A and B are shown apart, each in its own frame.
Chain A
Amino acid sequence: MDFMNTFRLALRALARNKMRSALTMLGIVIGVGAVIAVVSIGQGAQYIVQQGIQAMGTNAVFIAAGSNRAGGVRQGYGGVKTLTVDDMNAILAEIPLIKQAAPALTSRQQVVYGDQNWNTAITGTTPNYFDIRTWPVQAGSVFSNEEVDLAANVCVIGTTVARILFGTDDPIGKTMRIGNLPFRVDGVLESKGQNVNGQDQDDVIFAPYTTVQRKISGITWLQFIAASAVSQEASVAAVAPITSLLRERHRIRAGSDDDFMIRTQADIADLQNQTQSTMTMLLGGIASVSLVVGGIGIMNIMLVSVTERTREIGVRMAVGATEKDVRMQFLVEAVTLSMMGGAIGIILGLIGSMLIANLLQWPTLISGKAVVAAVIFSTLVGVIFGYYPAHKAAQLDPIEALRYE
């Protein structure tokens, strides 16, 4: 018996018990639909996380001071005094993989404008920093390299600071106070929203690093260097040369720990991949549970169907159906059930995720992979759970089957 025939036969058998077939499919429909919807919500969330990581600057390499062991006591990042602007210049000069770098050091200060005040982090850096982090201003401009050289009292503020201190006033050109010093506001940065950890990235003030070193913090070293490599691969490749260069410059003996810490975009991507695979496994778990439940439903109904149609099986065998013919007939029926369930589930899942996207304003991203996986899984469920009933049908003795009441 050819396949088309078997398939047509299966459709007709299923159509004979429409209600039963529909209810049996429901298990698979719900399983597949839920997976599709949940995966698209998950993918939507991941997309946002990815955007956030992109926002940290592509090809970025962060070198943080710290992790120096002094008599067994480790100091936190930024806690050591060895990372300097000279280090940064050496990296730029000697490692061609790095095309840009900016120094950074941060100090928390009370800031005041008019009758408003606020406590926030002042980061000292150079104009390059905004390129590396792909962070333009939305109004005004970034302070210049000359102003860095002069250690001028100028700053660029984030939108949160602008809102809190200036309210509806235009901050550009106004003078605010950071600590005890007056600073002129040159620009307001574009909003970056929350970062991956949920921190407000717009609650920031940037000033020339020279100004922060000399006038605010009173230090000569840096807390970290933000650099950017020529490409994403280069950012990973640059880690080793930067490490050896800094170890040499800091005169760290072989066997001693680094007094700095390098993180690249790739590290962050790795972390994200880990989260992603955990998520995928979780969803896979939910999916397989619901699909197994649906599969048991199919098996149950197919067993009932085989019993009900014992006489039919007997007749088919008497007129020449082989065991294989009978097995195929019931297997195709089970797979048709599960695949139809899968197809309806996919459609409902897609509709569901669109509804969620529209009604709840959650970002969703429909995943082609999830759809393909749903098709494969629902087919597999049909084969696995349909096999036993089909085998049982094929093993019937035609004489017994013909006599069955």
Chain B
Amino acid sequence: MMNMAEQILPAAEMERTGGKGEPVIRLENVYKTYDLGEIQVQALRGVSLEVMAGEFVAVMGPSGSGKSTVMNILGCLDRPTKGRYFLDGVDVSGMSKDELARIRNKKLGFVFQQFNLLSRTSALENVELPTVYAGIKPEERTRRAMESLRRVGLADRAGHHPSQLSGGQQQRVAIARGLVNQPAILLADEPTGNLDSRTSIEIMEILQTLNEEQGLTIVLVTHEPDIAQFTKRNLEFRDGKLKRDRLVEERLNAREVLKAMPTAEEEAAEDAGAAGGAGTGAG
């Protein structure tokens, strides 16, 4: 995978702000403290950051760095102990649980490491799930879900259940589910953590396409530098603080990388234990 570094996307840096003035995400001096009875854990200690529309950001850091906590707060699954969070211009840091549920439904799309699709439920119905809670009428739900599946190239698998799909396909269904309510941001938590390296790059290809061609803002958590290299900007966390905020200079283009990669059959023939890299060991 080392040759990936040579694939550079020239336009990456100028696309960084996406051309819009208002940030989609703005964290202002956010603290998060977990009260575990006897001890208090400070997961975030004064994080401030902005993400503009059209950005593709990787949140990185070792475990315990606070990257999961920041993702939970960005995802409106958790509230900051102190500080403010503006999502799409709205202060959500003081919202009630129900209000947050509505925000998650309308403004956010989630992609998880374990896919988290409902078992024994068709891909189409899985993708429909957020529209159900948005109170959209059944015909419109199906229409949107099909459209969403088309965007990830799985329209022909609409009736399949998760158990009938490969890991990569399941993750694409999950991405389609994340897109169906036309969110302001797609949040992906280690989306390639459970996938082999080739499938991982396929997923990154979809995310890159969505970002570049459809202007979708994506925030992705990963601990793999290789994966972060496909994004436009890397935020590195350590000890609950944002330590480094840098633009990706030698950005990889997933489509190019895939072309250069051996196919699954070739790999099998070589009997290469190439599952390392982006494949396993995610936490």
Contact = CB atoms under 8 A, between A and B. Distances in A.
Nearest to B104: A320
**Which of A322, A323, A399: most chain B Cβ within 10 A?**
A322
A311 interface: yes
B104 A318 contact: yes
Nearest to A395: B97
Contacts of B98: 322-324
B118 A319 contact: no
B132 A318 contact: no
A319 B105 contact: yes
B106 A320 contact: yes
Interface string A376-405: 000000000000000000000011001000
B118 A325 contact: no
Contacts of A311: 116
Contacts of B105: 319-320
A1 to B, nearest CB: 6
B101 A317 contact: yes
Contact of B101 (A5, A314, A321): A321
Interface string A8-35: 0000000010000000000000000000
A315 interface: yes
Chain A contact residues, majority secondary structure? helix
Nearest to B75: A318
Contacts of B134: 320
Contacts of B116: 311, 314-315, 318, 402
A316 interface: yes
B130 A320 contact: yes
B129 interface: yes
Contact of A320 (B102, B112, B120): B102
Contacts of A322: 97-98, 101-102, 133
B78 A399 contact: yes
A319 B75 contact: no
A323 B133 CA distance: 12
Contacts of A318: 75, 77, 104, 110, 116
Given A1-B132, A1-B133, A319 B110 contact: yes
**Which of A314, A324, A402: most chain B Cβ within 10 A?**
A402
B177 interface: yes
Contacts of B78: 399
A146 interface: no
Contacts of A1: 132-133, 135
A1 B104 CA distance: 15
A2 interface: yes
A329 to B, nearest CB: 11
Contacts of B112: 402
B104 A399 contact: no
Nearest to A317: B101
A131 interface: no
A399 B72 contact: yes
A312 interface: yes
Contact of B133 (A314, A321, A398): A321
Nearest to A318: B110
A147 B118 CA distance: 94
Interface in B78-107: 78, 97-98, 101-102, 104-106
Contacts of B75: 318
Contacts of B77: 317-318, 398-399, 402
Given A398-B77, A399-B77, A402-B112, A319 B120 contact: no
Contact of B118 (A5, A312, A321): A312
Nearest to B120: A16
Nearest to B180: A319
Contacts of A398: 77
A168 B129 CA distance: 85
Contacts of A16: 120
Given A311-B116, A319-B177, A399-B72, A5 B97 contact: no
A5 B120 CA distance: 17
Interface string A298-337: 0000000000000110111111111111000000000000
B97 A2 contact: no
A257 B190 CA distance: 96
A33 to B, nearest CB: 32
A348 to B, nearest CB: 30
A324 B98 CA distance: 9
Interface in B133-170: 133-135
A323 B101 CA distance: 9
**Which of A314, A321, A323: most chain B Cβ within 10 A?**
A321
B13 to A, nearest CB: 33
Nearest to A311: B116
Nearest to A400: B77
**Which of A5, A318, A324: most chain B Cβ within 10 A?**
A318
Contact of A319 (B72, B97, B133): B133
A316 B97 contact: no
B129 A316 contact: yes
A318 to B, nearest CB: 5
B110 A325 contact: no
Contact of A325 (B117, B120, B133, B181): B133
Nearest to B126: A315
A314 to B, nearest CB: 7
B273 to A, nearest CB: 27
Interface of A: 1-2, 5, 16, 311-312, 314-325, 398-399, 402
Given A2-B135, A317-B101, 12 more contacts: A312-B118, A315-B116, A317-B104, A318-B104, A319-B105, A320-B105, A320-B181, A321-B133, A322-B97, A322-B98, A323-B101, A399-B77
19 contacts: A1-B132, A1-B133, A311-B116, A312-B118, A316-B133, A317-B104, A318-B75, A318-B110, A319-B129, A319-B130, A320-B101, A320-B134, A322-B97, A322-B102, A323-B98, A325-B101, A398-B77, A399-B77, A402-B116
